[in-house]
Amino acid sequence: MKKILSIVLTLILVAVCCSALADEYIIQYPTHQIGTNSSAPANAAMVQGFNELYEGTYEIQVEDVPGDTNYRDKILNLLQSKDLPCMVYGSNLIDPFYAQEAFVDLKPYLDEDPEWAAGLSIANIEQNSRDGKVVGIANETQLIGYYYNKEIFAECGLEGPAKTWDEFFEQCAIIKDHGYIPLSMQTGDNAWCSGLFLSAMIDYCAGDQESFLDSNEKTTDYNVDYFYDALNMLKRIWDEGYTTEDSIGGMYENAAINFISGNTAMIANGVWMIGSFADPSLGGSEEFAEKVDIALYPEGFCMENPLDGWIVTPGDEEHVAAGIAQLKYWTSTDTMLNNLRVCGLVPGGNLEIPDDVIESNRMLGKLIALKSEDGVTTAHSIGNRMYGNVGTEVFSQYLTLFAQGGCTAEEIAAAMTEYAQEYAAK
């Protein structure tokens, strides 16, 4: 009798556990913010924190998708098959998702939760709105200068970062003459690092006229003199041997590893890269991190980008509720502050950077201070102003040819304009 009772109790316990598991909604979460991606530590912390908070209700199951391009391709394939996860990262995806109405309008949810809405910046919401509908919400904004290796600079007799572009190219020549490679660049993927230096050059070449980097609209016309001039300035880096051989066609990882390994003296990137310098898994160390400093671009220029945000996708009631829960957690004030502390992601909201973060994060604090100085100008990066897949489908491919002398600046501009205008007309 006792044995039968024990079996019955065991079966009841198993049934209860199975029922509890059945009630837990599984959120499939493909992500490229893994491995060497500079946002990987923040992403891992968000997943862990969410799963702990919603234990028994939701569980995020991560699917690793290495590389920005691979992630975008996967999400676009899922968009066509209408088999989307509850929430996707909307970088360069806001417009295709809007065009196919594959999004949940977040405006009613913001209206219903004014405390959540109050923590988000106007620029964040405007960046992600189309025709009065909020397609996505970002949990960070980009603050972008460039990094330099103080030890290499000192060995080359350079006292600090260049104030003008003439001085910048003079420094590149000096660094090369001392046996070092001046710059980490890459033309593959979306040509991110190269595009940042190009953005600073666009601002310089535009002079007093407003450039497409100053606009809050996506760019559909690249056929302008200041863009040609900036591209030709950028080409000097390859023509004069100021970067690595693997920069032509190389991915972001090539550029990052070249800098962290001490193979190059400078790299353009946002403040999220700071944590990588001391990360042993990426080849960094505390010793290397101490060698690195941050600078404004020549002529006192800094980039500040509101970002395409996270999109909640349509589905049944459970699907949408899970997506909203994940989005609110990803974009909460507490999460954004934690991401700032974990890997230097600048919050995409109305948050003051805490003093303890500025004190503990030397380079982030320095760039914030530099950006606030008189005479400093800010604008978007070129990637932030591109429609759809202009960066990966046109810009990076043509820039690879351009670096090799296979096309002209005017041909790059014409190809980018054609693609952007066709995309905007869809």
CA–CA distance, 75 with 82 (Å, rounded to integer):
10
pLDDT at 342 > cutoff 90: no
Average pLDDT, integer, range 37-54: 94
CA neighbor of 224 nearest in space, from 425, 412, 395:
412
Angle (CA) 178-179-180 rounded to 5° is 100
| Domains 30-137+308-347 and 142-306+358-425 belong to one CATH topology | yes
Confidence of residue 12 (pLDDT cuts 50, 70, 90): very low
**Does 25 have pLDDT greater than 60?**
yes
Helix (H) or strand (E) run with residue 64 in it: strand 58-64
Q: In the predicted model, what is the mean pLDDT of residues 340-368?
A: 87
pLDDT of the residue at 286: 95
Which pLDDT does position 22 carry in this prediction?
54
Phi, psi of 59 (to 5 degrees): -140, 125
For residues 40-45, give the mean pLDDT: 94
Give the model's pLDDT for residue 10: 46
Question: CATH number of 142-306+358-425: 3.30.420.40, 3.40.190.10, 1.10.760.10, 3.30.1360.20?
Answer: 3.40.190.10
CA dist., res. 413 & res. 291, Å (int): 38
Q: For residues 365 and 263, give the distance between their C-alpha atoms in angstroms, rounded to a whole number.
A: 26
Cα distances (Å, whole numbers) of residue 402 to 9, 134, 209, 407: 73, 38, 26, 5
What CATH class has 30-137+308-347?
alpha beta
pLDDT bin (cut points 50, 70, 90) of residue 2 is very low
Mean pLDDT, residues 348-373 taken together: 88
Of 366, 370, 386, the C-alpha closest to 378 is 370
Q: What is the pLDDT of residues 172-190, one digit of tens each?
A: 999 999 999 999 999 998 9
Return the pLDDT at 327.
Answer: 98
Residue 242: pLDDT band by 50, 70, 90 thresholds? very high
Confidence of residue 36 (pLDDT cuts 50, 70, 90): confident
Q: Among 10-19, 129-138, 154-163, where is mean pLDDT lowest?
A: 10-19
Q: Return the domain boundaries, the chain.
A: 30-137+308-347, 142-306+358-425
User: What is the reported pLDDT for 300?
Assistant: 97
In this structure, of 36-40, 102-106, 280-284, 301-305, the range with the lowest mean pLDDT score is: 36-40
- pLDDT tens profile 367-404: 988 998 999 999 999 998 998 678 888 999 999 999 99
What's the pLDDT tens digit per position in 273-327? Answer: 998 899 898 889 999 999 999 999 999 999 998 889 999 999 999 999 999 999 9
In SS3 terms, 107-148 reads as HHHHHHCHHHHHCECHHHHHHCEECCEECCECCEEEEEEEEE
Predicted TM-score (pTM) of this structure: 0.77
Percentage of residues of the chain with pLDDT beyond 70? 95
